[in-house]
Amino acid sequence: MGQTPTADHLRNHLVDLIRRDVRLTAEVERVMRKVPREAFLPGIGLEEAYADQAVSIKDNPLGGPLPLSCASVPSVVAMMLGQLDVQPGDSILEIGAGTGYNAALLAELTGANGHVTSIDIDSDVALHARTMLDRAGYQQVHVMERDGLIGAPENAPYDRMLAAVGLWDVPATWWEQLSEGGRLVLPLRWRGQTRSVALIRHGDNLVSHGMQLCGFVPVIGQDGEKTTALNADDTIRVIHDEDQAVDAVALRESLSTTTGIEVMSEQRIGGEESFDGVWLRATAADDRVCRLQVLPEAMAQEPLLRPAMPVRSPALIDGDSLAYLIVRREGADPDRPHRLGAASYGPQAEKLAQDLIAHIEDWGSARTAVPRLTVTPISSDAVTGGGHVITKRESRLTLTY
Ligand SMILES: C[S@@+](CC[C@H](N)C(=O)[O-])C[C@H]1O[C@@H](n2cnc3c(N)ncnc32)[C@H](O)[C@@H]1O
């Protein structure tokens, strides 16, 4: 019988696995190999603590699939720490203390001359983080029970700010707390998708320095993202921003009474090839982009043309019509056996499908291109250099390719 692996062994193994997909700086790798994740997850088995998955510590009292609080997926934690680029001596604010694990990593990265403040809105969670950080030897981290949308002005300014929770908007208060040239990393939602964006402050503008697709529990206190049911069972939904009018009655009618059409693009992909950039690209040009979510029970019951990823596919909505991304297998090219296309329903199905195809082709002309995102407070008239503007409540997003 083999020996039971130790926590050190499992931790090193996990970091080895993460390194295959995420480029780690030497410092991030060092702290990921050092900080014991299991110390922040009491009662959880070692194997679970070192799987590359989120671990829930408090259920959502409102129900739903997402917990109120969890330790984030380790590979996502590592990716975001890379985006944050902490320097020794940095003063750091984390929004969403959760287990306290990420705050410990931040404390290691900034070192003895730096400072970490970590805040959580939930009193049980803040107490959990405080207790675990103390036990693991990170008494120097300042944990506060606080609404992160307000930030923590008492310890500001910060060189680095990290949100470990999904934001729909960038709160105006955060600009005042981030140093000039400082970095903010946050999972930001727009048009139904979430991207972890690294932003650097230049006066009133926060300018992106890369972004990665990710998923996160939503922050408590922002409700600009809406969910609209497109069938009676609420198993087909669109997730959209509040500035996008969705005519649920007309769309339900179109889905239930019209036959969908399929139009294919010229873009082929390999089995493992990512195509989430189609969504990102479309958001930089078109205000009708949102997320289609089809639950497994609907896939089994409804005669709906299969979306690219049933729970999470980019879609276009225009009045009574809907188009969404599809992937179909075609034998012609063995290296790239799949082709991207659009399925579409409603009176404008043909036109909307062609509009989605145009976004797919735009993506295909520069598949790995990443836009520049500039975030500006809504009250500011700072120049952003042009691009497609999405207006939120407290900020404006400008996307440029
Ligand atoms: C994914 S968890 C954070 C994981 C954590 N960084 C760790 O290392 O375990 C997200 C946390 O954000 C907190 N949260 C949600 N809304 C918040 C808000 N408005 N202000 C502060 N914290 C919030 C939740 O209570 C939850 O603990």
pLDDT of residue 62: 65
Interval 326-348: pLDDT, tens = 999 987 788 899 999 999 999 99
Domain that holds residue 85: 7-213
Q: How many domains does the chain have?
A: 2
Give CA–CA dist 82/263, Å, rounded: 40
Same domain flag for 185 and 238: no
Is 162 within the bounds of a domain? yes
pLDDT of residue 59: 74
> What contacts 294, CB < 8 A, 6 or more positions away?
235, 236, 237, 302, 304, 307, 310, 311, 313
Same domain flag for 191 and 85: yes
- Residue 57, pLDDT > 90, answer no
Same domain flag for 168 and 273: no
Domain boundary among 213, 248, 279: 213
User: Residue 152's domain is classified under what CATH number?
Assistant: 3.40.50.150
Q: How far is the CA of 236 from the centre of ligand 1 (A)?
A: 28
Q: What does each C-alpha distance from 60 to 52, 77, 168, 283, 389 come to in angstroms? A: 22, 21, 19, 30, 34
Same domain flag for 201 and 124: yes
389: which strand partners? 398
Interval 136-173: pLDDT, tens = 999 999 999 999 999 999 999 999 999 999 999 999 99
Find the mean pLDDT for residues 313-318: 98
Interval 104-117: pLDDT, tens = 999 999 999 999 99
The half-sphere exposure of 390 on its side-chain side, counting CA atoms within 13 A, is 30
With a 6 Å cutoff on the Cβ, whether 147 touches ligand 1 is yes
Is 291 within the bounds of a domain? yes
Higher per-residue confidence, 272 vs 121:
121
Strand (E) positions, 45-155? 55-58, 69-71, 91-95, 115-120, 142-145
Give CA–CA dist 138/204, Å, rounded: 34
pLDDT of residue 66: 62
Is 32 within the bounds of a domain? yes
Is 307 within the bounds of a domain? yes
Residue of the CA atom closest to atom 13 of ligand 1? 96
Domain boundary among 149, 184, 213: 213
Q: Which of 72, 91, 196, 254 is catalytic?
A: 72
Higher per-residue confidence, 317 vs 70:
317
Find the mean pLDDT for residues 46-53: 96
Is 193 within the bounds of a domain? yes
Q: In which band, very low, low, confident or very high, does the pLDDT at 29 lie, cut at 50, 70 and 90?
A: very high
pLDDT of residue 391: 97
Same domain flag for 109 and 195: yes
Is 219 within the bounds of a domain? no
- Residue 1, pLDDT > 80, answer no
pLDDT of residue 44: 92
- Residue 64, pLDDT > 70, answer no
Same domain flag for 188 and 238: no
% of residues, the chain, pLDDT over 70: 98
Q: How far is the CA of 244 from the centre of ligand 1 (A)?
A: 28
Rounded mean pLDDT of the chain? 94
Look up 91 and say whether it is catalytic: no
Same domain flag for 26 and 97: yes
Give CA–CA dist 302/320, Å, rounded: 19
Same domain flag for 285 and 204: no
Lowest mean pLDDT among 17-31, 60-74, 185-199, 283-297: 60-74
Q: Helical H runs in 43-73?
A: 46-49
Same domain flag for 233 and 207: no
With a 6 Å cutoff on the Cβ, whether 222 touches ligand 1 is no
Is 345 within the bounds of a domain? yes
pLDDT of residue 321: 97
Is 172 within the bounds of a domain? yes
Same domain flag for 154 and 179: yes
Interval 262-301: pLDDT, tens = 999 999 999 888 999 999 999 999 999 999 999 998 888 7
Q: How far is the CA of 322 from the centre of ligand 1 (A)?
A: 34
Give the global pTM: 0.95
Same domain flag for 178 and 291: no
Interval 178-191: pLDDT, tens = 999 999 999 999 99
Interval 216-251: pLDDT, tens = 989 999 999 999 999 999 999 999 999 999 999 999
- Residue 4, pLDDT > 90, answer no
Nearest ligand 1 atom, CA 217: 1
Same domain flag for 204 and 290: no
Domain boundary among 213, 237, 259: 213
